[in-house]
C-alpha cells in the first residue's frame, strides 16, 4: 500500500528517544597513559551499544585560545547524544561558555613512567611498525633522536626539564595560563576539578579495575568492556601500541626527574588515593604487583588498599546519584 501515513492521526507523534544519563561524556585523554588502548575499546563499544563516539585527529594542541575553546565546546555540545568525546586537550569549562557541563573521565600513570614512554615513543614509535614517530617529529635531528636519556636529564636539556615535565596537571587544571606553571596554584586547581567535574580518574597501573568501575558507573557506554579487553584478539592489538627501545635512566637521573616532577607526583598520589577509596567503596581490593627494583629514594612504596569496608551511612547508588548532580 502506497499512500499517506495515518500514524500521526491515530497515535500522535512517536515517543521521544529516552537518553541514558549521563548522555554527555568527555575523555580528555592524557598522552601516554594508555589512551590508545582505551580508544580501541571505545570503537568496539560504540558499535556494540550504539553511542556516538566523537574523536579528534588533533594530537598536539592541548591549549586553546578563548575563541578555540568556544568553537570546540559548541561542536561537542551539538553532537548527537549519547556521545563520548575524546581528544588530547586540557580541561574545558563548558559552563563558562553557557554549555551543559559533561561528565569527565580520565586515566593517569606514574609521572616518570609516562615521561619515559613519551621520550622514546617520539623517537622510535611502537610495535605497530608504522613510522608514526617520524610523523610526529618530522624535524627532529638525528643527534636529537639518538640523544641518551641520561645526558638529556643530567645536562638539563629543555625536553627533560620544566616546564615540559609539568604535563599531567594541566589536563585537570584547565586552560588558564597559570595552569602551565609548575606550582601550588595549578596543583590545587587540578585537585578541585577532579573532585567537582570528573566522575572517575583512574590509574593505568590498575587498568582492569578502572574498566570495572567505568562499567559500573557508565554501563550504557562500558558494559562488557573487561571481557573485550581480556579477549586475546584485542590483547594482540593492544600490544602493538607498546613503545619500543625504552631504556631505564640511571638512579641519579631518576632522582633528578623525581625532584623536578614533585608537583606531578603530589597530584598522582592524590588521585591514586582517591581511586583506592573508590575501589574500597565498591568492594574492589588493590592487588599491587611487586614494584620492579629501583632506588628506595625514588618514589614512596605504593599504597596498599585495605580490605573492603561496609559503609552503612551511604549506599552505592545514592553516592553515584550525588556525583551526577555535581
- Look at residue 140 in the predicted model and tell me its pLDDT: 82
- Look at residue 286 in the predicted model and tell me its pLDDT: 63
**Fold of the CATH domain 24-284:** Rossmann fold (3.40.50)
pLDDT at 207 over 90: yes
Confidence of residue 284 (pLDDT cuts 50, 70, 90): confident
| 127-133: Cβ within 8 A, 24+ apart | 127/239, 127/240, 127/241, 127/242, 127/244, 128/240, 128/241, 129/240
Q: Which helix or strand (DSSP H or E) is residue 156 part of?
A: none
The fraction of the chain above a pLDDT of 70, given in percent, is: 75
DSSP conformational letter for 165: T
- Residues 111-123, mean pLDDT to the nearest whole number: 92
**Residues sharing a CB contact under 8 Å with residue 31, sequence separation 6 or more, in sequence order:** 59, 88, 114, 118, 167
- Residues 183-191, mean pLDDT to the nearest whole number: 98
- Residues 216-221, mean pLDDT to the nearest whole number: 96
3-class DSSP state of 106: strand
Please check whether residue 326 is in contact with residue 196, taking contact to mean a CB–CB distance below 8 angstroms.
Answer: yes
pLDDT at 324 over 90: no
- Look at residue 238 in the predicted model and tell me its pLDDT: 57
At 31-81, the pLDDT tens digits run 999 999 999 999 999 999 999 999 998 888 999 999 999 999 999 999 999
- Look at residue 302 in the predicted model and tell me its pLDDT: 34
Rounded-to-integer distance, Cα 302 and Cα 154, Å: 26
pLDDT at 213 over 60: yes
Which among 130, 153, 24 has a CA at the least distance from the CA of 76? Answer: 24
Annotated catalytic, 176? no
- Look at residue 27 in the predicted model and tell me its pLDDT: 98
- Residues 195-209, mean pLDDT to the nearest whole number: 97
Rounded-to-integer distance, Cα 178 and Cα 185, Å: 7
At 77-96, the pLDDT tens digits run 999 999 999 999 999 999 99
Which residue did the predictor score with more confidence, 176 or 134?
176
- Residues 155-177, mean pLDDT to the nearest whole number: 97
| Residue 55, preceding peptide bond in cis (omega within 30° of 0) | no
- Residues 173-180, mean pLDDT to the nearest whole number: 97
When the pLDDT of each residue in the chain is averaged and rounded to a whole number, the result is 83
- Look at residue 244 in the predicted model and tell me its pLDDT: 56
- Residues 140-169, mean pLDDT to the nearest whole number: 93
CA distances 155 to 27, 105, 148, Å, are: 36, 37, 11
- Look at residue 288 in the predicted model and tell me its pLDDT: 54
- Look at residue 73 in the predicted model and tell me its pLDDT: 96
Catalytic residue, candidates 88, 176, 220, 234: 88
Rounded-to-integer distance, Cα 193 and Cα 247, Å: 34
- Look at residue 144 in the predicted model and tell me its pLDDT: 86
Amino acid at each position: 500500500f502506497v499512500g499517506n501515513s495515518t500514524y500521526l492521526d491515530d497515535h500522535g507523534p512517536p515517543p521521544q528517544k529516552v537518553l541514558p544519563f549521563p548522555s554527555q561524556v568527555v575523555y580528555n585523554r592524557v598522552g601516554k597513559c594508555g589512551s590508545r588502548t582505551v580508544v580501541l575499546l571505545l570503537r568496539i563499544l560504540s558499535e556494540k551499544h550504539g553511542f556516538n563516539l566523537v574523536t579528534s585527529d588533533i594530537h598536539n594542541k592541548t591549549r586553546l585560545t578563548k575563541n578555540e575553546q568556544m568553537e570546540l565546546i559548541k561542536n561537542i555540545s551539538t553532537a548527537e547524544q549519547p556521545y563520548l568525546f575524546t581528544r588530547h586537550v586540557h580541561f574545558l569549562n563548558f559552563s563558562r561558555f553557557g554549555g551543559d557541563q559533561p561528565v569527565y573521565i580520565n586515566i593517569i600513570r606514574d609521572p616518570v613512567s609516562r615521561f619515559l614512554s613519551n621520550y622514546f615513543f617520539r623517537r622510535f614509535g611502537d610495535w605497530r611498525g608504522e613510522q608514526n614517530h617520524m610523523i610526529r617529529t618530522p624535524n627532529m635531528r638525528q643527534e636529537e633522536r639518538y640523544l641518551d636519556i641520561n645526558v638529556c636529564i643530567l645536562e638539563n636539556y629543555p625536553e627533560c626539564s620544566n616546564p615540559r615535565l609539568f604535563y599531567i596537571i594541566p589536563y585537570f587544571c584547565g586552560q588558564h595560563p597559570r595552569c602551565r606553571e609548575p606550582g601550588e596554584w595549578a596543583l590545587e586547581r587540578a585537585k578541585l576539578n577532579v573532585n567537582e567535574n570528573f566522575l572517575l580518574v583512574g590509574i593505568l597501573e590498575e587498568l582492569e579495575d578502572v574498566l570495572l568501575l567505568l562499567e559500573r558507573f557508565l554501563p550504557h557506554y562500558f558494559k562488557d568492556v573487561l571481557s573485550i579487553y581480556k579477549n586475546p584478539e584485542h590483547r594482540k592489538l593492544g600490544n602493538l601500541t607498546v613503545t619500543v627501545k625504552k631504556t631505564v635512566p640511571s638512579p641519579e637521573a631518576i632522582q633528578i626527574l623525581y625532584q623536578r616532577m614533585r608537583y606531578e607526583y603530589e597530584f598522582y598520589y592524590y588521585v591514586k588515593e582517591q581511586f583506592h577509596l573508590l575501589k574500597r567503596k565498591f568492594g574492589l581490593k588493590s592487588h599491587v604487583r611487586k614494584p620492579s627494583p629501583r632506588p628506595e629514594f625514588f618514589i614512596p612504596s605504593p599504597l596498599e588498599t585495605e580490605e573492603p569496608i561496609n559503609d552503612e551511612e551511604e549506599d552505592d547508588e545514592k553516592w553515584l546519584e550525588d556525583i551526577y548532580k555535581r
